[in-house]
Amino acid sequence: MNSQKIAIIFLALVLTANLTACGGSESGGNNIDTNPVSGDTNSTKTTDDGLAHDDLGDIRFDGETFNMWLPYSEIPGYVMEENTGDIFDDAIYARNMAVEERLGVDIVYTFSGHPYTGVGYGLGFADIRNYVMSGDDSFDVFEHVQNGLAGGCIDDGLFVDWNDVPNVDLTKEYWYKNAIDNINYGSKLYRVVGYYENSILSATNCIFFNKRIFDENKVEYPYAQVLAGTWTIDSLMEIITKTTADLDGDTKLDRTVDQFGYLGRSYNTPPALFIALGGDCIVRNENNMPQDVIMTERNSDIIDRLLALHNPVEGTEIIGDTAEMRQLFIDAHTATVHGELGYANDYFREMKDNFGFVPYPKMDVKQENYNSYIRGSAPLTYIPVTNTGKNLEMTGAVLEIMACESFNRVVPAYVDVVLTTKVTRDTESEQMIPIILDSASFYDHVLVDFDVVNCYFNNTTLTVEYAKHENYVKSVIEALTKTYT
């Protein structure tokens, strides 16, 4: 895991982009940068019109069908059969139509039928394995999460190296370059994602706060600290202390009755806080290969901070039920809560109390950037080895143009309209959106049996947890090195 900035370097341009189609020039082919560690910005910029443009020209695949497998029905940003009058929905519909008309193809989306849960993710990878191992070429692309069983499927050679995909240029700004940098190794690229995956935006983590509770406790909103670069974990802990209240006076704190300072979610808060405070488990050496850096003083300090957040006596708790956590915030039983940008529109839009949101804090003022975690169930794109020949050429072209069209149409509709116009309740929250998105990064869940989440579940320090898994970590590093060499 490497906490590099997400490739939204040109977010300001995106916010002002016109909802017009991608242009094309006359060159084609594959221009993937095979050195993922080469930089943290994309080499291609938007043009003077504020739009991105692909380089595929008049390429056509008349009469062909492009089949994309989707992991769960709740995934946003893909299926839209007609205009609905909603700007975001209509942008998705226009994107799909533009891709189909330009390439002469039909796009068919198929949902896995599995639930939006950890069990569902595992069942999805089992399906993918069965499809590929049996030679079934029903699907050109699988969209699926980056945790769970992805590593095993990669080790077993089920997916195409994106270096071999024609008609794709991953240096373009409509691809998430951090997906290359953060969760691939060596020069091979087995999992990549473009701006067609809108849940990358909606699943970026942040902290929501209840303005009424802040006002009643004379606590300043943290916006100014964020902008000044002084929003730290100590700042958050101070807010938690000031806003925790025993409302029924029974000298005990109950999150369903009293007022907590912070509530988190068991599987999401640990990696969110770990990334935010500058933690790292795996870095890349000079050959872009994985290297274990788990046992550092900083990482140990971060885990200690995480464990301190699970303390109901002090008005903080990390719970297992996401829906309960959200509802407790809506019902004003917590002053701050772990969240994702998408919560603002999907869950908190009708909330009675006014709310704001900010990025997760830094460890201290010496830390250069805020770092935001992208939830691990935000899907990435896997191309099966059953996709060959002309189908692979079509796959590259569809994804390239879909990513470009999404950058120009869907992203500005979501960020500028859905997040900003519809749900933000002050101009300061609008200022937080680019800060949160510009700092977003993946956490590489390749260490399935050893994870910072384990420290929370087992209530153990990093030293104790690592001692139990050191041999396992070494075996994973060896397997990764073998796979990506």
- Angle of helix 297-309 relative to helix 462-484, nearest 10 degrees, comes to 120
What is the identity of the amino acid at 388? T
- Report domain extents, the chain: 24-202+376-423, 205-373+447-484
CA distances from 382 to 374, 445, 447 (A): 18, 16, 19
Question: Contact at 8 Å (CB) between 379 and 199?
Answer: yes
Distance between the two ends of the chain, CA-based, in angstroms? 18
Q: Give 467's contacts (C-beta < 8 A, 6+ positions apart).
A: none
In the predicted model, residues of the chain with pLDDT beneath 70 are 1-48, 147-148
Question: pTM score, two decimals?
Answer: 0.86
Q: Compute the distance between CA of residue 391 and CA of residue 196 in angstroms, rounded to an integer.
A: 20
Question: Contact at 8 Å (CB) between 302 and 277?
Answer: yes
Predicted local distance difference test score (pLDDT) of residue 296:
95
Of 273, 203, 310, 291, nearest in space to 474 by CA? 291
Q: Compute the distance between CA of residue 94 and CA of residue 1 in angstroms, rounded to an integer.
A: 35
Tell me the Ramachandran region of residue 148: left when phi exceeds 0, alpha when psi lies from -120 to 50, beta otherwise: left
The pLDDT tens digits for 168-221 are: 999 999 998 877 777 889 999 999 999 999 988 899 999 999 999 999 999 999
Of 8, 345, 52, nearest in space to 193 by CA? 8
Q: How long a stretch of residues is the chain?
A: 485
At residue 265, the 3 state secondary structure works out as: strand
Q: Which fold has domain 205-373+447-484?
A: D-Maltodextrin-Binding Protein; domain 2 (3.40.190)
In terms of C-beta density within 10 A (0-12 exposed, 13-18 middle, 19 or more buried), how is residue 117 classed? exposed
Predicted local distance difference test score (pLDDT) of residue 46:
52
Q: Do domains 24-202+376-423 and 205-373+447-484 have the same CATH topology?
A: yes
How many C-beta neighbours within 10 Å does residue 363 have? 19
The pLDDT tens digits for 38-94 are: 333 343 455 667 899 999 999 999 999 999 999 988 787 899 989 999 888 999 999
Greatest C-alpha distance within the chain: 73
Predicted local distance difference test score (pLDDT) of residue 423:
73
Q: Compute the distance between CA of residue 153 and CA of residue 15 in angstroms, rounded to an integer.
A: 37
Q: Give Cα 50 distance to the centre of its chain.
A: 24
Predicted local distance difference test score (pLDDT) of residue 443:
81
Residue 379 has φ and ψ, to the nearest 5°, of -70, 150
* Adjacent-strand bridge partners of 66: 107
CATH number of 24-202+376-423: 3.40.190.10
At residue 471, the 3 state secondary structure works out as: helix
Q: Compute the distance between CA of residue 149 and CA of residue 151 in angstroms, rounded to an integer.
A: 6
Q: Compute the distance between CA of residue 222 and CA of residue 227 in angstroms, rounded to an integer.
A: 9
